Structure 1
Amino acid sequence: MTALAFDPPQPSRLLTELDRRHRLLTRYGLLTLILGGVAILLQFGDPRTLASGVGIWVKPAKFFISVSVFAFTAAWFMGYVRPERRDSRPIRATVFALIASGTFELAYIVFQAAQGLESHFNKSTPFHAIMYALMGLGAVILTATTLPLAWEIGRRPAAGLQRSFVAAVVLGLLLTFALGGMLGGYMSSQAGHAVGQVGGSVPLFGWNRLGGDLRVAHFLGIHAEQALPLLAAAVAGAPARLRWAVVLGGGAVYAALTLGTFYQAVAGRALLPL
């Protein structure tokens, strides 16, 4: 396996390439992306805010876009699965689990937002406590869909992929589950995502800038599946020894960085202080 690991298409053909790799996941990613745009527009027509002062449609917009990116990434990685395996029972089950868990979580977030209520950390009634627990289960299932994909790509990768690139994809998928899932589970067990003082926010992401914010580490963990393959793609033309050093060293540094931001947040220290 010595062919170039990553040859991205032109932006105008990206959707076509995603569709070729996995039509259902691509269509789901496109649908959630469009709904994310709708949620953004709703913020201009619905001025209601949550108790935290954040607009009620901010969280639905973020989660629609997040699930969209997750689905598009899975669709792209399907291209690294051997063609004859893309319709196998384990892969079909993985796709179903991704769409079902993502849809459940998004549906409840929108349901709560429409009522002007928090979806996360809301245990104010037995109903909300049960739904929040189910959301947590859904999030675990969603991130766990990276595991069968990692197994399939690791054991039977598509022809023409550099072994170091395959390792980067597998490592990224495993870290997404291990770090994204683990840190997300810890965060959901707390009273909220902020630790210590609360004030200010990082543009676009809304992370706390006066104290710690557990969402930073969770964000990094979830996006390991994109970061490590992109790192490997950047050195695809280098000698094999250097490629492996970058993949393994990059994975270690990324994991350390993610855990470092987690411990920083637990200590109540802001990532980007005011």
Structure 2
Amino acid sequence: MAAATTALPTPRRSLLRAPLALLHAVRRRDPVLAGFGLALFAIALALGLAWAFDARQLHGESVWAKPIKFLLSVGLFALTSAWFIGDLPEARRHAAPIRTVRWGIIATGGFELGYITLQGALGQASHFNNSTPFHAVMFALMGIGALALTATTLPLAREIARHGSGLHPALRLAVVLGLGLTFVLGAGAGIAISAHGGHAVGAATDAGLPLLGWSTSGGDLRVPHFLGIHAQQILPLAGAGLVAAIPRQARLAVWAVSALYVLLTLAALAQAMQGRPLIGL
């Protein structure tokens, strides 16, 4: 009986083992950047509690919704970058390009998130808020910071391309393409949002999809922006799956999947600019 009772918690421990192992692995790969990403997740959790007790709304959603979404997005960006840094030789992890990537993410991400969270706490808009010269300057600086944040993928992609020899060639290609397209597509869609004066096109007046908030009544430029920014995760994951499934043809398959991903993102951008809803894809 004692042995049987002791064995009962084993499945629960097994469920926890994989996430904990992943957490330890990313912290070993880059402790500073991983610590930053995990701190952002912890702050997002704290703001989630604030959301539960604070009924204030801004533009139809909780004042804490935008800070939480940005904290989670930048946190994932930081953790993914930390993971890829771990694919480099030890000497390259401390080279100037990677130090620029590491501290560039922390500086630009910290600045943007700090201002977004402050504005949320004040019940005021952070984006497209030109109500005073101060808010206009801060909005402009956020745009510069966001562009600089996504640009950190470029030196990291170059380092992986040149020094990531420990990766399967197809997976290395997927990582490099994912990082490069994160800047090209993610920043490109972000610039389109700024040029348009907001993310909504057409009759985008509905509450949108849960959590994401994407409009289902009109065009929403956040969709291609989301696809672009998360090429950093999606294409390397696809590459890993292709290497496991078809190792000999994986490199060609990575090129094909990446091309389809670009077409999907451009189609989402064109759809949004035409004022067509998400379900029109």
| Cα distance, 1:90 vs structure 2 | 1.5
Identity score, percent: 48
* TM-score normalised over the length of structure 1: 0.93
| SS of equivalent residue, structure 2 residue 276 | coil
Q: Distance in 1 between matches of 2:217 and 2:245?
A: 42
- Structure having the larger proportion of residues in helix: 2
Q: Output one character per residue of 1:118-143: Cα deviation in whole Å (capped at 9) or x when no partner.
A: 00111122111111010000000100
| Partner residue in 2 for 1:6 | none
| Cα distance, 1:190 vs structure 2 | 2.3
Corresponding position: 1:165 with 2:176? no
| Partner residue in 2 for 1:272 | 279
Corresponding position: 1:121 with 2:110? no
- Any gaps of 5 or more consecutive residues in structure 1? 1-8
Contact 1:200–1:210 (Cα < 8 Å) also in 2: no
| SS of equivalent residue, structure 2 residue 155 | helix
Q: Distance in 1 between matches of 2:188 and 2:255?
A: 21
Contact 1:60–1:110 (Cα < 8 Å) also in 2: yes
| Partner residue in 1 for 2:33 | 25
| Partner residue in 2 for 1:178 | 184
Q: Distance in 1 between matches of 2:63 and 2:186?
A: 25
Query: Which of the residues 137, 145, 148 maps onto 1:138?
Result: 145
Q: Distance in 2 between matches of 1:75 and 1:204?
A: 26
Query: Which of the residues 71, 79, 82 maps onto 2:86?
Result: 79
Corresponding position: 1:45 with 2:16? no
Moved over 3 A (4+): 237-241
Q: Distance in 2 between matches of 1:83 and 1:127?
A: 43
Q: CA RMSD in A?
A: 1.3
- Any gaps of 5 or more consecutive residues in structure 2? 1-16
Corresponding position: 1:98 with 2:102? no
Contact 2:47–2:68 (Cα < 8 Å) also in 1: yes
Larger Rg: 2
More relative contact order, 1 or 2 (CA 8 Å, 6+ apart): 1
Contact 2:101–2:155 (Cα < 8 Å) also in 1: yes
| SS of equivalent residue, structure 1 residue 117 | coil
| Cα distance, 1:10 vs structure 2 | 2.6
Query: Which of the residues 187, 195, 212 maps onto 2:219?
Result: 212
Q: Distance in 2 between matches of 1:141 and 1:49?
A: 30
| Cα distance, 1:191 vs structure 2 | 2.2
Q: Output one character per residue of 1:89-146: Cα deviation in whole Å (capped at 9) or x when no partner.
A: 2211211111000000001101111111100111122111111010000000100000
| Cα distance, 1:272 vs structure 2 | 2.6
Map 1:217-232 to 2 at 5 A: 217-232=224-239
Query: Which of the residues 35, 57, 66 maps onto 2:43?
Result: 35
Corresponding position: 1:64 with 2:67? no
- Residues 86 and 46 of structure 1, relative CA distance in 2, 3 Å threshold: same
| Cα distance, 1:158 vs structure 2 | 4.3
Q: Distance in 2 between matches of 1:76 and 1:251?
A: 21
Q: Output one character per residue of 1:31-88: Cα deviation in whole Å (capped at 9) or x when no partner.
A: 00000111111111111111x1211000001011111100110011012112111011
